[in-house]
Amino acid sequence: MEPKDLSKKLLFASGIGMLFDAMDVGLLGFVIAALMIAWHISPQSAGLLGSITLVGMAIGSAAAGLFADRVGRKKAFLLTILIYSVASGISAFATSIVFLLVMRAITGFGLGGELPVATTFVLESSPPEKRGRRTALLETYWAFGSIVAALIGFLVIPILTWRAAFAITVLPALYTLYLRRSLPETPAFKGLKEKLNFKQNMSRLWQKDLRKRTILLWVLWFTANFAYYGMFFWLPSVLVLKGFTLINSFGFVLIMAIAQVPGYLVAAWLVDIIGRKWTLVLFAMISAISALLFGMSTSIGLLLLFGIILNFSNLGAWGATYVFSVEQYPAASRATGLGWAMGIGKIGGVVAPYLVGALVATHTSFSIIFGLFFIVTLIGVIFLLTLGHDVTKDEPISHFSTAHQS
DSSP assigned state of 331: G
User: CA-to-CA distance for 115 and 343, rounded, in angstroms?
Assistant: 10
User: CA-to-CA distance for 82 and 195, rounded, in angstroms?
Assistant: 25
Residue 336 is which amino acid?
A: T
User: CA-to-CA distance for 103 and 404, rounded, in angstroms?
Assistant: 38
Sign of the alpha-carbon torsion through 250, 254, 259, 262 = positive
Which has the closest alpha carbon to 384: 210, 221, 216, 272? Answer: 216
Q: 127 by DSSP, 3-state: which?
A: coil
Query: H or E stretch including 339?
Result: helix 334-361
Cβ-contact 332, 69 below 8 angstroms: yes
Q: How far is CA 379 from the centre of its chain?
A: 19
Cβ-contact 152, 88 below 8 angstroms: no
Cβ-contact 330, 16 below 8 angstroms: no
Cβ-contact 258, 380 below 8 angstroms: no
pLDDT at 4: 53
Tens-digit pLDDT profile for the chain (406 aa)?
Answer: 444 555 677 788 788 878 888 888 778 878 887 888 888 878 778 778 877 887 898 899 989 888 888 888 888 888 888 898 889 889 889 888 899 899 999 998 998 888 888 888 788 877 777 777 888 888 788 878 878 888 888 888 888 888 988 888 887 777 776 766 677 777 778 877 777 677 887 888 898 888 899 999 999 999 999 998 888 777 777 777 777 766 677 777 777 878 888 988 899 889 888 989 999 999 999 999 999 998 888 888 888 899 899 989 998 999 899 889 988 888 788 888 989 998 899 888 888 877 888 888 888 888 898 999 999 999 999 999 999 877 655 555 554 433 333 3
pLDDT at 278: 94
DSSP string for residues in 358-400? HHHHTT--HHHHHHHHHHHHHHHHHHHHHH-----TTS-S--S
pLDDT at 171: 79
Give the domains, in start order, of the chain with CATH numbers.
3-180+197-393 (1.20.1250.20)
Angle at which helix 300-326 crosses helix 276-296, to 10 degrees, equals 160
- The long-range contacts involving 130-133, CB below 8 angstroms and separated by at least 24 positions, are 130/7, 131/323, 131/327, 131/393, 131/397, 132/268, 132/271, 132/272, 132/276, 132/323, 132/327, 132/393, 133/268, 133/269, 133/271, 133/272
User: CA-to-CA distance for 20 and 13, rounded, in angstroms?
Assistant: 11
User: CA-to-CA distance for 315 and 125, rounded, in angstroms?
Assistant: 23
DSSP string for residues in 174-236? HHHHHHHHHPPPPHHHHT-S----HHHHHHHHTSHHHHHHHHHHHHHHHHHHHHHHHHHTTHH
Which has the closest alpha carbon to 44: 364, 360, 362, 357? Answer: 357
User: CA-to-CA distance for 361 and 370, rounded, in angstroms?
Assistant: 15
pLDDT at 247: 61
Cβ-contact 134, 10 below 8 angstroms: no
Sign of the alpha-carbon torsion through 70, 76, 77, 80 = negative
pLDDT at 53: 83
User: CA-to-CA distance for 349 and 232, rounded, in angstroms?
Assistant: 11
pLDDT at 284: 96
User: CA-to-CA distance for 146 and 245, rounded, in angstroms?
Assistant: 21
Distances from the Cα of 297 to the Cα of 242, 306, 365, angstroms: 10, 8, 11
User: CA-to-CA distance for 255 and 233, rounded, in angstroms?
Assistant: 16
